[in-house]
Structure 1
Amino acid sequence: MRASEDQLRAMMIGGLAGDARAYRDLLDILAPLLRAFFGRRLRDAAEDVEDLVQETLIAIHTRRATYDTSRPFTAWAYAVARYKMVDHFRRRRVTVPIEGLEDILVAEGFEEAVSARMDIDSLLNTLPPKQARAIRETKVDGLSVAEAADRHAMSDSDVKISVHRGLKSLAARLGLS
């Protein structure tokens, strides 16, 4: 069944009001729309489309109270879908260690990158190891706070505090505060 924005919005509002039939119909209509949405964007990862559809339907269900009934429903639903897709890409991030990167960069004329890396290393070495590690992993290596916390059996808050205190200390050292 194809539904208009007004019909989808009415089903969502009905579902929020307790109409189980309207809500079930909404989810049934959303599933193929989401399959098409993800299918267009993940052509080389078709096996992930159904997982993303299910994750998005669950997210829509668990976050349905955040839907502003005065706003278009499809924009809200597709925003949830986009966030799920971004999370999917973050989980699939692949890193490849390159041994001797500095030598390669110098040979290719990127001495500034090597120099910047050495500057970062020397600055981070002035901090307590916990703060330096938290800054390196979250700000330099690109890990999320949760990933850095998991890596060292720390809480997310502990990582955030370590990053904040370390950056504050570096700013004071460099006369930026």
Structure 2
Amino acid sequence: MSGQDEKELAALLQAAIAGNEKAYAAFLTRTAAIVRGFARRKIVHGGIEPEDIVQETLLAIHTKRHTWITDEPVLPWIYAITRYKLIDAFRKRGRRVEIEIEEIAETVALEVAETVSARDIARVLDGLAPGQRSIVTAISIDGHSIGETATKFGMTETAVRVALHRGLRAIAKRFGRNENAN
């Protein structure tokens, strides 16, 4: 989706939260199409109906719409909810779920940033290699996307994802989290 689509979707959700039913219907219709496409791409071997994921996601969005931060992009919020619903569906089926880091890097970056207090951010970033520090800062602190960060530093998106993953792993290790503990 383009930046304009993101803005339109965010405006629809803002209007919906303010009570505009037509805007809410339009938001849900567009969101359903996005979630449907995403679910179809992720459900490779069947056993789970994409429409079930769409309905579960829309229900979660409806009940949690007040948690969306209006200054933040709406698409990562939608995709995060969809990923969790997909994972729940696979767990119910008893399958092991493996997700590529590229698919969740931005979400993980935001979650790591939210768990670190403001006074610890400088200390945490100082512990990273300069390249990792720049990447983690651009994505987790400044809120840039993978693509924007790649352009900013003249890197490929894959290289940015690798640096981000390594930086986040270093942060997790520093705070005593074992990434193999599940």
TM-score by length of 2: 0.49
- Partners of 2:47 and 2:30 lie apart in 1 by 20
C-alpha distance after superposition, 1:80-133 (max 9, x if no partner): 0011011111101169xxxxxxxxxxxxxxxxxxxxxxxxxxxxxxxxxxxxxx
The alignment status of 1:48 with 2:73, answered yes or no, reads no
4+ residue segments displaced more than 2 Å: none
Alpha-carbon spacing, 1:94–1:64, altered in 2? closer, same or farther (3 Å): closer
Amino acid at match of 1:51: D
Unaligned runs of 5+ in 2: 97-182
- Partners of 1:94 and 1:5 lie apart in 2 by 33
Map 1:3-82; keep pairs closer than 5 Å.
Answer: 4-45=5-46, 48-82=49-83
What is the aligned length?
94
Unaligned runs of 5+ in 1: 96-177
Alpha-carbon spacing, 1:94–1:34, altered in 2? closer, same or farther (3 Å): closer
Alpha-carbon spacing, 1:37–1:46, altered in 2? closer, same or farther (3 Å): farther
* Alignment partner, residue 84 of structure 2: 83
Alpha-carbon spacing, 1:45–1:7, altered in 2? closer, same or farther (3 Å): same
Q: CA RMSD in A?
A: 2.0
Map 1:113-152; keep pairs closer than 5 Å.
Answer: none
User: Which structure has the greater CA radius of gyration?
Assistant: 1
- Partners of 1:78 and 1:51 lie apart in 2 by 15
How far off is 1:69 after superposition? 0.4
Amino acid at match of 1:61: H
- The answer (yes or no) to whether the contact 1:39–1:46 under 8 Å persists in 2 is no
- Partners of 1:9 and 1:94 lie apart in 2 by 34
- The answer (yes or no) to whether the contact 2:35–2:54 under 8 Å persists in 1 is yes
Amino acid at match of 1:26: F
* Alignment partner, residue 169 of structure 2: none
Alpha-carbon spacing, 1:47–1:92, altered in 2? closer, same or farther (3 Å): closer
How far off is 1:21 after superposition? 0.5
- The answer (yes or no) to whether the contact 2:48–2:89 under 8 Å persists in 1 is no
